[in-house]
Structures are given as C-alpha cells and as structure tokens.
A = this chain, B = another copy of it.
C-alpha cells in the first residue's frame, strides 16, 4: 500500500555555506529569511522535484539550522521577516510526491520535525524576544500557510493572486497536519464554520476576505506592501529586549565519530544493539571548568558543556528517529561528576537574565521536549558514578521509567536543583516534576526542598524513580524489563506513551502533537490517502482518487 523504500540516512548538521533553499539577510535588527527552494536539490532528487517552493526534510533542516543560529549567533536580530524570493509563489507546502513516495514512519517523523521547527519559532517569540512576521507575497498554500501561522503576524499582498489556503483536505485527502487546523481555530481563533469552509477550498482566500476571516492580519496593495512589512518589522523589533549588538557565539560542527553502530560526540555517546533493538545513550557531565559568569559563557561559546552536550543530545535524538526506526528502546545514562552539573545549574540560574544564558536554557528546554516527543521507550538507568543531578535528572524524569540501583557498598545518589523547578516546562506547560506528581502536588515542593542527595531508597520513597533493586536483583530486573519492552507491539507502545507522558492540561502545542498528529497519522494509514487510488498517490498524476466513502 505505502512506499517502503528506505530513504538515505539523514544528517541534521549543516552549515550556512551549505544552504540551498533559504536566503538570510540581516539589516540592523531585522533579519529577512526568504525561501527560494532549489527544485533539483531535494533529499531524494530522483523521486521528486521541489517545485513551487515546496519543501522536504532537507529544506526544513536548513530552516531549523538558521533559526538556531539566529538565536545564538545573531543576538542583534530582534525580528524576522519570512518571505519568498520566487515570483507569485510564497510556498506550496510539503512536497506531495515526496510524501507519496515516503514510508509511513518517514512521513510521521518528517511531520514531527517540521512541527517542532514551527513550534520553535513560537518558542523564540515567547522566550527569546524575537518576533516573526510573515510577508506573504504570493500563493501560500498548505504547509506554506502553516509556516505563516507559526509567525506572530501575517501580512498578505493584495495583488489579485497572492492567497492563503489549506487545500490538503480537498486536494490530497489528508489534514493540514503541521499545526494548521489547530492554529487556525486555537491560535488565530477563526470561527469554526469559517475554518471549515476555508479548509475545504482548493484555491484559498485573497485580500480583504483573508483579513475578514482572521486568516491574515492585514493586506496591502503591491505598491505599499514592502513599506508596510518593513514598518511592522521595525515595530516588532523595537519590542525586543535582545542586545543592541553582538557578538553572539558561533555554533561549530559537532563532528561526531561514527564507527559501525556507535556514534561518539564529545559528551554524548550512542551505541546500538540491533539484536536487542536498543540504543544505549550516555551523556557525560562536564569534566573541565565551566563558565561562571555571562562573560565566561560568551567566551566559552559553543564549547560550554551546557551548549555542546545538549546540541549533541538533540542531534543524536534526531538521527535515532529518522535513521534507526527499528531501535525501540533507549537506555539513558548520565555519568560523571554530579557536582559539575549542579555547578552549571547554579551558573545558569544566576545569569538567566542574560540573553545567552536564556538561549542556553531554551536549547535545553527544547531538547528535553524532543525527548518527550520521541516515539521510543526511554528507560533511565541510575548506577554508581551517575550524574543524574539537576538538569540531567530531567532526562530521568522524561524517561518512561527510571531504575536506580540500591547498592550496599557503592554510593549511588541523585540530586535535584533549582533548574528542576520549572526551567524546562513540557509542552503542556508544566514541569516534569509537576506532571509526575499530579496526584500529590505537595510532593513537588517537598522534593525540591530536600537538602542534599537522595539515596536510592529515598528516591524510591519520594517517588522520583520507578524501582530501586539491590545489586543482586539489578541485572535481572533491568534485563527483563528491556527484553519485555522489545517484545511488545511498537505501535501500541507509541500510542501508550503518547497518552501516559502527557497527563494534565493540554496546550496548543500538545493538541498539535496529540489530537492533530494522531488523526493525521491515522489518515496516513488509510487507503483513501495512501492506497493505490488514494488522494495522496494520485495527485498530479493521471486519474482521480477513488474513495471508499464509509465514514468511521
């Protein structure tokens, strides 16, 4: 039914000199990010051409990289204008032929990454004091409009052809699944009947009608558009508290060494066991002096542990998701000196008002969210020599289970820090401790107030770990848990984890990954979309889709 050709391994590292699809220009406090997709430069150029500024994962990897560099390398940028360099076309959305020729798992992970990138723009608006302005100067459809929806404001040229639209349902038999449906009614608060109509139009809406429906914020004739965009961008930039000038810090290559099934970064190591379908993912605490002041963070740049270790972790997670679909369980360890992690936490907390420290905390927050949203089982193993302290203990909290050995001879403790008290909210807006103790909210304050380390027994009693076997039981219990996990249906585990990890309130962000994505994934399985005569497969080819009209 679906295409199952294995795509080439995806590399998420890229440098500005390699950009092919986006042009970044910085003028004072305003950056202009213009899309100009090279048709023949898709990740699988033999399978599809990226016409009409449509995108594939490679285009989005560039975008994510640019956004990351804007955060760290360009503190002088206070507002970003998104626009197109192609005449009469802003962006046609995700490339349909790419989707049609991708496996189910690739489609799902492609959508997840693009969703994370767009939510990252909203994260920049909320946390980094950088606002986004979509300057739509052509046809803006589907994923193109979803990109605009992720901006703070949307301006549309009124030239008789430029339009915004979500034609996925009528044209392709799928959803605008990169946040489109959710943002239309939940962010822009478009009335549901107008949203219903809008989402069934193939041609989108233009000019005043787009403003009246709240689909864009304003429209201007061609002669006044550039001026209006520039003016509004300056106004948005003026709201920022980012520094007036740089320097920022440069994000150099991570350059992991890959040897068979082992990937080794400086602080992160991933080691795959294909027979067990596990990945041992180990993150090391700092082993050298770390910055204590904002100036020292600036001087250390991308070599500060807080930056480097979490960039490495982020890269490892993305490679795992896209390139290693059969690896179902991630065994997480943090090793090294926990006091070194707590020292970093203290420095981050002391200087969180500084733009760079704010960005470093943001990098950690987004990387930890990436763990929450990774459809693999995570088991944290807490053993003597562990560095599960403060920020690194968030990895144990993000795990589906944490096992901590209660060793009679060797010390084995964990520690919390002030950074566990809300610096890294999950996508539902709560800290991982708050979600963990929804049923006993007083516990959050109590464990945070705990003086000093927790032994395994104390951690178990406090509810901070799942199990604390002694040294005699440890090997068997952990081994059996990992083996049992590997035997379950991977789909049931994905659904189970997506439900159990996100107790408590829902936000626009969780609605995108829960409600919207789950329905889209369902549709991505249905013959009406991906069958031989499904709408996603027949699009742009001869013949029309043929539907089984049974509703469910």
User: Residues on A close to B: CB < 8 A?
Assistant: 104-105, 108-109, 168-170, 172-175, 181-182, 184-186, 188-197, 199-200, 214, 277, 325-328, 375-376, 399-402, 435-440, 463, 465-466, 484-486, 488-506, 510-511, 514-516, 518-523, 525-526, 528-529, 535, 545, 547-552
Contacts and interface: CB of A to CB of B under 8 A. Distances in A.
Nearest to A486: B549
A190 B168 CA distance: 39
Nearest to A277: B549
Contact of A197 (B174, B466, B550): B466
A514 B186 CA distance: 15
A326 B549 contact: yes
B552 A503 contact: no
A194 B552 contact: no
Contacts of A104: 552
A428 to B, nearest CB: 10
A529 B192 contact: no
Contact of A109 (B277, B400, B528, B552): B552
B402 A168 contact: no
- Find the residue from A191, A522, A548 having the highest chain B CB count within 10 A: A522
30 contacts: A105-B551, A105-B552, A169-B492, A169-B493, A170-B484, A173-B488, A173-B491, A175-B495, A181-B500, A186-B438, A188-B439, A192-B503, A193-B399, A193-B465, A197-B466, A200-B488, A214-B439, A325-B551, A325-B552, A326-B549, A326-B550, A328-B551, A489-B523, A489-B547, A491-B529, A491-B552, A494-B552, A499-B516, A506-B506, A521-B552
A550 B105 contact: yes
Given A109-B552, A182-B499, A518-B519, 13 more contacts: A104-B552, A173-B488, A174-B492, A181-B499, A189-B438, A192-B436, A193-B465, A196-B466, A196-B496, A326-B549, A376-B551, A494-B551, A499-B515
A466 B190 CA distance: 12
Nearest to A170: B488
A105 B193 CA distance: 26
Q: Which 10 A-B pairs have the closest CB atoms?
A: A189-B439, A173-B489, A518-B518, A506-B506, A185-B503, A495-B519, A514-B515, A525-B525, A181-B499, A193-B466
Contact of A400 (B108, B193, B510, B551): B193
Copies of this chain present in the complex amount to 2
A108 B526 CA distance: 14
A292 B492 CA distance: 53
Contacts of A109: 552
Contact of A522 (B172, B328, B495): B495
Contacts of A174: 489, 492
Most-contacted residue by chain B among A184, A439, A440, A505 (CB, 10 A)? A439
A414 to B, nearest CB: 14
Contacts of A192: 400, 435-436, 500-501, 503
B196 A401 contact: yes
A7 to B, nearest CB: 13
Contact of A535 (B168, B200, B489): B489
B375 A552 contact: yes
A520 B503 contact: no
A174 B499 CA distance: 13
B199 A496 contact: yes
A495 B523 contact: yes
A196 B488 CA distance: 13
Contacts of A196: 400-401, 466, 496-497, 500
B551 A500 contact: no
A182 B466 CA distance: 20
Contacts of A506: 505-506, 510-511, 515
B511 A498 contact: no
B491 A186 contact: no
Nearest to A201: B484
Nearest to A402: B193
A317 to B, nearest CB: 13
A184 B510 CA distance: 19
Nearest to A516: B499
A104 to B, nearest CB: 6
B499 A519 contact: yes
Nearest to A547: B489
A489 B200 CA distance: 11
Nearest to A502: B515
A197 B481 CA distance: 9
Contacts of A463: 191
B492 A523 contact: yes
